Amino acid sequence: MAERIARTATERLRWSPSLSLTARMLAVNIIALGLLAGSIFYLDSYRRQLLAERFSLAGAEAQIAADALAIANRTERRDIMVRISQEQKLRLRLYNARDKLVADSFELAEPSFHFIDPESEPWYQHAARALDRGMDFLLGAPPIPDYRDPEETVEPEGSAWPEVQEARQALVTSIRQRRAPDRTPVITAAVPVGTKGEVLLTTRNAPDITQNVRDARQTLAIIIGTALLISILLSLFLARTIVQPLRSLVRAAVRVRLGRDRKVVVPRLPERRDEIGLLARAISDMTAALRHRIDAVESFAADVAHEIKNPLASLRSALESLEKVEDAQLRRQLTSIAVHDIQRIDRLVTEIADASRIDAQLSRTTFEPLDIGQLVKALVAERQSRGVNRTHQVTVAQPQGPRPIVAGDAPRLCRVLENLLDNAVSFSPEGASIEVEINQDNGGVHISISDHGPGIPEDSREKVFQRFHSLRPPSEDFGSHSGLGLAIARTIVEAHDGSLTAHDRRDGEPGARLLIDLPAWSAS
């Protein structure tokens, strides 16, 4: 269930099996910047805000000018219109009640502004206008009519301006927006003048609004472009620091899997203190452990073949000789040899099968807290009842104090103690005692089994734990032991995070002392 949930979560996080890490890093950063780039569309609200302010200003300007014209005479009107036009950069046109043009500030004086001819502008202004059109299309902006003056073949009339008609009929200020040839806003405002039906029309070209929006858009584009460039460079740098080490690890892992070169070195990346470094060192350690395990399996297989080959050769020789021998006594001896060899092979196969399964079985075993003192005493009593200790007296010494508790598997630890006690019984002379001592300190529990045999030479104290290595007493029948007992015992102890070592007796007398060190149980 947990595995299925983890797999489902992994599948949710996966984009596409074909995307590399580099592509994913770039995509993540570019998507984030794309969302940021979307803020450029909010510049349209900035433009609408500027236009709204200019609409309000245009209405106020038109109303002030209309109020001034309402109380002025004909000569004063012309002066007022010229002065307002020059100071405010406006064009003022006054229409009478019959929509006839009475006065035009651009005719009374020099025009205060001119529309820009797009054909006379440089290429980048054409590009800016193209970008304006593109933004309007993307934003779905409503169309704005072009600004055109009424035909001047006849006297211009106010009827050509809808805002003039609206201002006269509704007696309100009417404001319209049009678009100059260079796509800048043209704002017109019509307002009634006095009570005689006259209407004042003001016209303002506001290129600064377009320029402000373009400047803001350009600044934002520069910021986004710079951020995009930096983001891509940082993504490539990040990908290089992650992807390249991973590819090196992949290549090394493939070479290890192919097994073509036993000297393949998996990079440990000691300079990396991040997760990639931890992964590299974990893979390197795993590879070393795998090689060690493979070497151990190969060595074990060779040892098994060698150990089984000897009794098989003896069995074959006995059986072949049995057909040729007529003497009954000799035939019984050959039969006894054959039976002994069969028993030896059976013992070897059993021990080998057990030894090969121990690691796998222990990896699936759940350790529980055990009172090792009680376990030892119960095992010694059980062996005494079965008579396997022969004439030897096995004593157990345990100082007073807290119970020695370890985390382990009781049957496997009993197997260790059985092997060590069998070993002590085999080497001890008849009637000699075997001492078992149990001690503990702050960090662990120590169990020692001492005998009164010849002891273990110092140069053989590691060899005795190797598989199929056996130093048996001369009085023992050849082939009665597989040579796997101590090897199996050490394997089990090490699986419990402990150690099994061989020493001299502590009292200086002849004999061996096998010491088991196990970590004490911790409830945390």
How many angstroms separate the CA atoms of 27 and 34, rounded?
10
Q: Greatest CA separation found in the chain?
A: 162
How many angstroms separate the CA atoms of 253 and 320, rounded?
52
The answer to whether residue 135 sits within a structural domain is yes
The answer to whether residue 14 sits within a structural domain is no
The total number of structural domains that make up the chain = 3
| Residue 274 sits in the same domain as residue 339 | yes
For the packed helices 123-139 and 43-70, what is the interaxial angle rounded to 10 degrees? 100
Q: What is the pLDDT of residue 9?
A: 43
The answer to whether residue 66 sits within a structural domain is yes
The answer to whether residue 474 sits within a structural domain is yes
The answer to whether residue 372 sits within a structural domain is yes
| Residue 415 sits in the same domain as residue 512 | yes
How many angstroms separate the CA atoms of 262 and 252, rounded?
11
> How do beta strands 433-440 and 393-397 pair?
parallel
Residue where a domain stops, chosen among 348, 363, 378: 363
This prediction has a pTM of 0.47
The answer to whether residue 409 sits within a structural domain is yes
Rounded to whole angstroms, what are the CA distances from 439 to 173, 404, 414? Answer: 105, 8, 18
Q: What is the pLDDT of residue 61?
A: 92
Q: Facing residues of 202 across strands?
A: 92, 189
Residue where a domain stops, chosen among 157, 191, 216: 216
| Residue 59 sits in the same domain as residue 201 | yes
The answer to whether residue 315 sits within a structural domain is yes
φ, ψ at 191 (rounded to 5°) = -145, 140
Q: Give the residue numbers spanning the domain of 191.
A: 40-216
| Residue 358 sits in the same domain as residue 428 | no
The answer to whether residue 32 sits within a structural domain is no
**Mean pLDDT, the chain cut into blocks of 10 residues (524 residues total):** 46 50 67 64 76 91 92 89 92 91 91 90 85 77 85 66 91 92 92 90 91 81 78 76 79 75 71 77 81 71 68 78 78 80 75 67 78 89 85 87 86 87 86 89 88 86 74 50 73 87 87 90 71
Report the CATH number that the domain containing residue 120 is assigned in CATH.
Answer: 3.30.450
Look up residue 250 and give its two tokens. 């992949």
Q: What is the pLDDT of residue 324?
A: 78
Report the CATH number that the domain containing residue 483 is assigned in CATH.
Answer: 3.30.565.10
DSSP code of 498? -
Residue where a domain stops, chosen among 216, 232, 258: 216
Give the 3-state secondary structure of residue 277: helix
| Residue 75 sits in the same domain as residue 159 | yes
